[in-house]
């Protein structure tokens, strides 16, 4: 541990999962901020947090807090993260990082100007099985990678008023679900050289299904599928000339994978042994970066998070999704 003192901004379900994993890892969770004292008090009691603030402004002004986890809905990420940075706090921002690339670039610039860490909470990248996969790739175990595929499909609430379906709240499959396979593809193959996307929109104008086909440097191809209206296998694969990796369900959480040779021989089988959900690994990574005085991480640099938001912007443009604030 580096001694950083964590504050959590907002008290929804993902905030609870993160708080639980911080406790699992023995990290220093000292404060929570909500839009009401009642909600902050209830969250603080649940996770034994000493300081409960009735506003986000009070949280970011707390001198006992060093780093803040922003867990509000997508449209609030930029505003809330900016508020924390302006008050001198390092920030871990729930994915998708922002609504669009322009907002992401603004946070990147402000953090650099203030000498602070701003990092996207794409927790999957930091999980042990993903670390091992990157090691195998770096060692050449797969040969030349030719294709990557991943899906993130869930049966989620269909109520048009639900956050997941409301455009004004960044609703749709892409930002909630599609960010996982898109970020995974970026992790393995890097930036796409071309993007093709199709989608199905619901009555609110939000995307319920999105599929992508992208090409990458060297001619490798990738495919992704996201859906908020149907649950699929939620698996992923990386196909190389010397071997392929099959990641089991649910591929973006602690799970198993196999390294398989062309003749079908399983050369390695990896089984995750993770306590809790696994969100603590991103927090530990953020602490190490701050401790070492590094503001651009190697697992997911802020420049890459910004560029990924640009890819999501392109996908949305192709399927016809535009958020209300972008109409101004």
* Two structure tokens written together for 88: 């001198």
Specify the long-range contacts of residues 205-208, CB closer than 8 Å, at least 24 apart.
205/167, 205/321, 206/164, 206/165, 206/166, 206/167, 206/171, 206/172, 206/173, 206/321, 207/172, 207/173, 207/174, 207/316, 207/319, 207/321, 208/172, 208/173
CA 241 to chain centre: 29
d(CA 324, CA 302): 26
* Edge-first strand listing for the sheet containing 5-9: 51-53, 28-33, 5-9, 67-70, 90-94, 118-121
Helical segments of the chain, H only:
13-25, 37-47, 56-60, 74-86, 101-114, 128-138, 173, 179-189, 280-291, 302-319
What does the DSSP 8-state code read for residue 123? G
Q: List helix spans (H) across 90-178.
A: 101-114, 128-138, 173
Catalytically annotated residues: 95
């Amino acid at each position: 541990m580096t001694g950083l003192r964590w504050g959590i901004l907002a008290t929804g379900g993902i905030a609870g999962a993160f708080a639980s994993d911080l406790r699992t890892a023995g990290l220093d969770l000292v404060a929570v901020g909500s839009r009401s004292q009642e909600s902050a008090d209830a969250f603080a009691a649940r996770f034994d947090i000493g300081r409960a603030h009735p506003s986000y402004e009070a949280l970011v002004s707390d001198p006992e807090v060093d780093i803040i986890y922003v867990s509000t809905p997508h449209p609030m990420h930029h505003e809330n993260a900016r508020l924390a940075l302006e008050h001198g706090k390092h920030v871990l921002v729930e994915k998708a990082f922002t609504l669009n690339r322009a907002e992401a670039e603004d946070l990147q610039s402000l953090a650099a100007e203030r000498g602070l860490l701003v990092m996207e909470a794409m927790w999957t990248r930091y999980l042990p099985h993903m670390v091992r996969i990157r090691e195998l790739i770096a060692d050449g175990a797969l040969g030349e990678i030719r294709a990557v595929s991943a899906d993130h499909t869930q049966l989620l609430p269909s109520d048009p008023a639900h956050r997941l379906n409301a455009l004004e709240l960044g609703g749709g499959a892409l930002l909630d679900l599609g960010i996982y396979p898109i970020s995974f593809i970026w992790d393995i193959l890097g930036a796409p050289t071309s993007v093709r996307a199709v989608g199905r929109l619901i009555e609110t104008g939000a995307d319920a299904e999105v599929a992508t086909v992208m090409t990458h440097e060297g001619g490798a191809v990738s495919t992704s599928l996201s859906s908020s209206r149907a649950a699929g296998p939620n698996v992923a694969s990386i196909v190389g000339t010397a071997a392929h990796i099959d990641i089991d369900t649910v591929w973006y959480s602690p799970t198993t994978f196999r390294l398989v040779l062309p003749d079908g021989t399983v050369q390695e089988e990896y089984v995750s042994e993770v306590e809790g959900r696994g969100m603590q690994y991103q927090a530990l990574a953020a602490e190490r970066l701050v401790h070492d005085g590094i503001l651009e991480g190697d697992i997911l640099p802020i420049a890459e998070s910004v560029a990924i938001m640009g890819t999501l912007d392109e996908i949305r443009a192709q399927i016809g999704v535009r958020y209300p604030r972008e109409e101004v």
